[in-house]
Structure 1
Amino acid sequence: MTAAMKRQTLQNMAEVLAHKVSYNQRLFSANQDEIVQGLTTDIYFIRTRELLRHMGLDRTPVTAEVFAGRPGILAGVEEVKNLLTGLPVEVWAMPEGSEIEEKEVIMRITGAYDDFGIYETALLGMLASSSGWATAARRCREAAGDYPMISFGARHVHPAVAPVMERAAIIGGADGASCILGAKLAGQEPRGTVPHAVMLIVGDTVEVARVYQQTMPPEAPVIILVDTFKDEVEESLRLTEALGDKLQGIRLDTASERGGVTPGLVREVKARLRQAGYPQVKIFVSGGITPERITILITAGADAFGVGSYISGAAAIDMTMDIKEINGQPVAKRGRIPGLTDAPRLQRII
């Protein structure tokens, strides 16, 4: 019995047709068991399995290579490793966080095709999405330089993939993430303060700030939103009067209906805080942040950034998997060069 069979993966078209799902009382995302079982694979890989078994070719040893469709930052390798660990395959890959080039081979898998072919859809998707998010985060990192930059993108994607996205953002260069599971999967604790909702319910920004400072853990930074009720400058100065040196930062997230956070607003708040004797209070900016806006807002005086849709909405980096050897002999589809590609940066991971 093969490792793929021991995993209880889908074996044939009959099992696909027999599989039933409930539309009620379940989230529509695949859970880990369903991914491992092969339920997220493209149907043609199940047809391939059945055909090869019928012809006695399912145990054919092959080497497959995965290459990227455009340059970027590689992420998703650890998830692919977790998916394939336990199968009788050998896997080489470039490290996560590596800069990759168009058409560069980023992964190589050797084994009987039947043992890993069913996972082509899943592993390509893991690499493609995570690399796209990591690449967008790297662009923000490059724009921010040494200024803190946190990923706030979880609300823009399906919750099933939000942790994947936030982890990829950290690999790409984000200093942290607001999504609890995403941050923890990256070996960090989640970062963030409070939303407008608590301000609206309580009715006063200063009152929220006082209670926040009193009740949150000592290591939680006191960074307070200032655009809910009053002019951002007025609210910032009210906070300095109430909290004094305990106020570490203010957050600007001005609604697009009021023009969003402009360089002029940042400059004014910065100057007024300095004039009031609080130059140490940092200005954290969120809402529609892009690399271009980061550069402009740093010049205006911003100190840190929360980036949402620019990272979460990034296009995936298309990944392609090609068989390049069968029984140790070079092969390739038309248009590709047969045999293994020179890929000196690959490292053995399984």
Structure 2
Amino acid sequence: MRAPHTVQNLREVVDFRVLPEQRLFSADGYEILAGWTTDIYFIKTREILRAMGLAGTEVVAEVFASKRGVLAGVPEVKNLLAGTGVEVWALPEGEWFGEKEVVLRIHGPYDRFGIYETALLGILASSSGWATAARQCKEAAGNKQVICFGARHVHPAVAPVMERAAVVGGADGASCILGAKLAGQEPVGTLPHAVMLIVGDTLEVALAYQRTMPAGTPVIVLVDTFKDEAEEAMRVAQALGKDLAAIRLDTPSERGGVTPALVREVRARLDQAGYKHVEIVVSGGLTPERIQLLNQAGADAFGVGSYISGASPIDMTMDLKEVNGKPIAKRGRIPGITPNPRLQRIL
């Protein structure tokens, strides 16, 4: 793969023009690969090293994490660095890493990859933060499903990145179409309240869902729009019978949200009426703590949004540890390559 053309100097930066009124504000793939999302001091570094004849200096750089987490974003970093000619090692995606553990190592001429430090740190930091939050939710859910519903809480440019990272972290699925596809899955989701409000009756929507969706599509019906959730669940179950796969509870915070007591009541009423096959999907402001309580109450699946999408990035730092084969480091860090047998060659 041929290395992309990247920003060469400060003159190119000055000449670079954007028209905010004619574009979305997110960087596209070309802009990231070209270096337009980098911090300006990396362009200054490039100019200085080239002026001194040192741009091709052989270095080893290491990336380490500020705290424990689940690693995500490795394939994207690989794609970012492909074609630069550098050698790269990384921890396997989806594995836990420890505080200060080296998660990525790069060996090659500095000018080949230095311009990408900003981007690759951002990729790993954000993706690992989302993956870690998803892992916490999955651990709380045990063997029950966790679906990421977080796309609406972040900028659309990063929504697919976030939902893919959630799957890497342990989520069983994602609702964002592109995010699910990037994770090698098909998107998962039910219906919004909007269709219920437009039609005006939950049961009518449920019957239309059954008629309209492709064969084999699980019929999962939202039951908190108009009536008492338990009443609506029974009404839909009686009409659809064995064709009803699940009901979804998404009671808003204005009415107390989905509580363990509500889940227990709905579960009991469905069971008593012979609808033990109907599962209960819950969503709305879920956290690992709430998932654990609702899991114990009888919920079967969990749609998690803001807990995953709002997870803080896990700070990543890149340090040069060798220059021309000699151990080196800034004050406070130990010179030389940090041993980590868990790293695997990816480029």
TM-score normalised per structure 1: 0.98
Does residue 157 (structure 1) correspond to residue 160 (structure 2)? The answer is no
Counterpart of 1:27 in structure 2 is: 24
Q: Which residue of 1 aligns with 2:175?
A: 178
1:119 aligned partner, one-letter code: Y
| TM-score when normalising by structure 2 | 0.99
Task: Find the partner of 2:346 among 316, 337, 349.
Answer: 349
Runs of 4+ in 1 over 3 A off after TM superposition: none
Task: Tell me which residue corresponds to 1:320.
Answer: 317
Match of 2:125 among 106, 124, 128: 128
User: Quick one: distance in 1 between partners of 2:336 and 2:90?
Assistant: 17
Counterpart amino acid of residue 52 in structure 2: M
Match of 2:40 in 1: 43
Q: CA RMSD in A?
A: 1.1
Distance 2:320 2:28 in 1: 28
Amino acid at match of 1:141: K
CA distance in 2, matches of 1:298, 1:346: 36
Aligned-pair distance for 1:118?
A: 0.1
Q: Distance in 1 between matches of 2:248 and 2:76?
A: 34
- Tell whether 2:329 aligns with 1:332: yes
Q: Residues of 2 paired with 1:313 and 1:174: CA distance?
A: 15
Which letter does structure 2 place at the counterpart of 1:75?
Answer: A
Partner-residue secondary structure (3-state), 2:21: coil
Which one of 13, 16, 20 corresponds to residue 16 of structure 1? 13
- 1:6, distance to aligned residue in structure 2 (A): 5.4
CA distance in 2 between partners of 1:301 and 1:335 (Å): 51
Alignment of 1:96-107 (within 5 A): 96-107=93-104
Indicate which of 287, 290, 296 corresponds to 1:290: 287
1:88 aligned onto 2:85: yes
Counterpart pick for 1:218 among 207, 210, 215: 215
Superposed displacement of residue 219, structure 1: 2.6
User: Which residue, out of 271, 277, 280, partners 1:280?
Assistant: 277
Q: Distance in 2 between matches of 1:83 and 1:282?
A: 42
d(CA) in 1 for partners of 2:2, 2:75: 23
Q: Which residue of 2 aligns with 1:202?
A: 199
How many aligned residue pairs are there?
347
Change (3 A) 1:6 1:295: closer
* Alpha-carbon distance between aligned partners in 2 of 1:5 and 1:179, rounded to the nearest angstrom: 31
In structure 2, give the amino acid aligned to 1:280: H
CA separation of 1:16/1:153 partners in 2, compared to 1, >3 Å: closer, same or farther? same
Equivalent in 243, 263, 267 of residue 266 of structure 1: 263
User: How is 1:49-64 mapped onto 2 (pairs within 5 angstroms)?
Assistant: 49-64=46-61
Matched AA of 2:4? R
Shift of 1:25: 2.3
CA distance in 2, matches of 1:25, 1:224: 40
Give 2:227's aligned residue.
Answer: 230
Counterpart residue identity of residue 176, structure 2: C
Q: CA deviation at 1:127?
A: 0.2
Question: What's 2:186 paired with?
Answer: 189
**Equivalent pair of 2:3/2:83 in contact (CA under 8 Å):** no
Task: Give the C-alpha shift of residue 5 in structure 1.
Answer: 10
Question: Contact 2:4–2:83 at 8 Å: present in 1 too?
Answer: no
Select 1:243's aligned residue among 226, 240, 243.
Answer: 240
The alpha-carbon deviation at position 193 of structure 1 amounts to 1.1
